Amino acid sequence: MLQEKDLKGIYVPIITPFDEAFGLDAGSFYNHALELFQNEIHGLVVSGTTGESPTLTSEEVRELVATAQSAREAAQSAAPIVVGTGTNDTSASVRKTEQAGNLGADAALVVVPYYSRPSQQGIIEHFKRIAEVGVPVILYEIPQRTGVKLELHTVRTILELDGVIGMKDSTSDTSLVSELSRLGSKPVLCGDDALLYRALEAGAAGGMTASANVMTNRFGELFRQFSGGDLVQGRKTFEELLPLIRLLFQEPNPAPLKWLLAQSGVIASGTLRLPNVPITDGLQARLREFRV
């Protein structure tokens, strides 16, 4: 299982390929996961938002995790596999986390409960219950999607729980990671791709970076440059990636990613499940130069 000391580097929330009949395309998923592992990513996230987790059944998650494990073995990689298990129902989140553990997940990515907007104490209790399962938990803070923002005290309380090994920070700036770094904290991964370099400078241990589904080696290169102390080259690499990152989030994720991966032949189809829809012709034209 994933340990706190190993929560660092570039973790890729992998897309979930579907065929044109909206069924799971396990073959494309295997090929893409294999390529990601071969590019020496530091971790893979299955059934995250980038993987269209709200549309996946438990059986599909089971198949995806098993396929990712096969790809990891074929690539002779030791990168951990993290499974998204968070919901706005504590009991359901506990069950999903137990299921992830039974499937052999190395950790669970657990989002702050969304829509119901619980109190700060309610959120703490939510994470206490999930952490008791025994699968290492990564706290996921993304207030623009959950409708509630964690106070610093709440974040620190959750991070102090046994079984919580770190967090993904998708707030809109680097103030949280800066403050946690100053105070001393478990690892924080940046979840806003456009802020990745600034977050590393502020003390982040890496990124959970959807954009790294493409140009994966460049994101790994960026992290190696930064962690090796070559800050000038690291910033240059990031600035070269930034135009792509901005385009990938110009329309709702993961539609731009899936279009680009399909156009590049990495996956067979860019099919999305509703309510996600394909990207506009205008964005397609702008993304064509980035086909890999």
| Catalytic residue IDs | 140, 168
Owner of token pair 């991966």: 261
**Residue 170 near residue 112, CB atoms below 8 Å:** no
- Residues 176, 152: Cα–Cα separation, whole Å: 8
- Residues 78, 155: Cα–Cα separation, whole Å: 29
- Residues 144, 142: Cα–Cα separation, whole Å: 6
Task: Establish whether 216 is an annotated binding residue.
Answer: no
Task: Establish whether 50 is an annotated binding residue.
Answer: yes
User: Dihedral (C-alpha) 194, 211, 206, 12: value to the nearest 10 degrees?
Assistant: 160
DSSP 247-271: HHTSSSTTHHHHHHHHHTTSSS---
Tokens in use for 57?
A: 């059944």
- Residues 165, 262: Cα–Cα separation, whole Å: 35
What are the binding residues for pyruvate?
50, 208
What are the binding residues?
50, 208
